Structure 1
């Protein structure tokens, strides 16, 4: 089963500010600080945070099911000009629950000079025998929406 889901949120800050958070290692530190109920730790384990970099996310036990405690994501696309970043899950988490592909894409679009929109897209492929886990995609896009909302609050505090 293939699919994708999206979420958009107006950020209230210029696109450059939104991109500066979502396109760099700052996002990992932000996730640790602002979402401790989901992420215990986010570490850069390979690269500089750009294309080809690998992040190890330690997940709060019980959040994604029994025994799921970490995942690795690889930055597979980094387009600074168009402000698009794509990460693909390469180990753990949803891959242990029957997903064969799980990608998250952040796209920052300008909305005038003083605002921007963050569009988050999840793309996935799920084995037929694991179709009962399809509901996890709804949970994942809700968590992505939570990240966007917390980022908006953070960026607007300056």
Structure 2
């Protein structure tokens, strides 16, 4: 089974400021301790190939399914188009029957804002579940993504 979910929000911050948060390791630093128990850099400097270990807080939706941690790898960091692709490479959903679980972050210029003081952020989850674990697809949701975008939005808009 293949599926995808996405969420989008408007942020009252210049697109370059939003990308400076979403396109780097700064997002992990911002949400560590708030939404996650820990976000540790295992390898890399924030570019393609960077690997993070993300430890979930007890009680989060994913932790409630028995997932405690996962390793994610930045597979694309496109500074020009402001797109970052992240793939779970160990643990997390891969431990409960998923073939892959990817997250795509996009910071998009707000074409309706002539002042350049706002942008949109879109986060998309793409996944594939093995047939014998198809019931686990119901565990995929955007709750944590919405929380991440909320913390990031509050942080970015506090500078305006």
TM-score, reference length from structure 2: 0.90
Q: Retained in 2: the 8 A contact 1:106–1:119?
A: yes
Residue matched to 2:136? 133
SS at match of 1:148: helix
SS at match of 1:114: coil
Q: What's the offset of the Cα at 1:62?
A: 5.3
SS at match of 2:67: coil
Residue matched to 1:51? 48
Q: Retained in 2: the 8 A contact 1:61–1:67?
A: no
Residue matched to 1:21? 21
Name the count of aligned residue pairs. Answer: 153
TM-score, reference length from structure 1: 0.91
Q: What's the offset of the Cα at 1:65?
A: 4.0
Q: What's the offset of the Cα at 1:60?
A: 2.0
Alignment of 1:118-157 (within 5 A): 118-138=121-141, 141-157=142-158
SS at match of 1:77: strand
Unaligned regions of 5+ residues in structure 1, if any?
none
Unaligned regions of 5+ residues in structure 2, if any?
none
Q: What's the offset of the Cα at 1:17?
A: 0.8
1:134/1:67 CA distance change after superposition, 3 Å: closer
Q: Retained in 1: the 8 A contact 2:39–2:55?
A: yes
SS at match of 1:34: coil
Poorly superposed stretches of 4+, deviation over 6 Å: none
Root mean square deviation of aligned Cα:
1.3
Residue matched to 1:99? 98
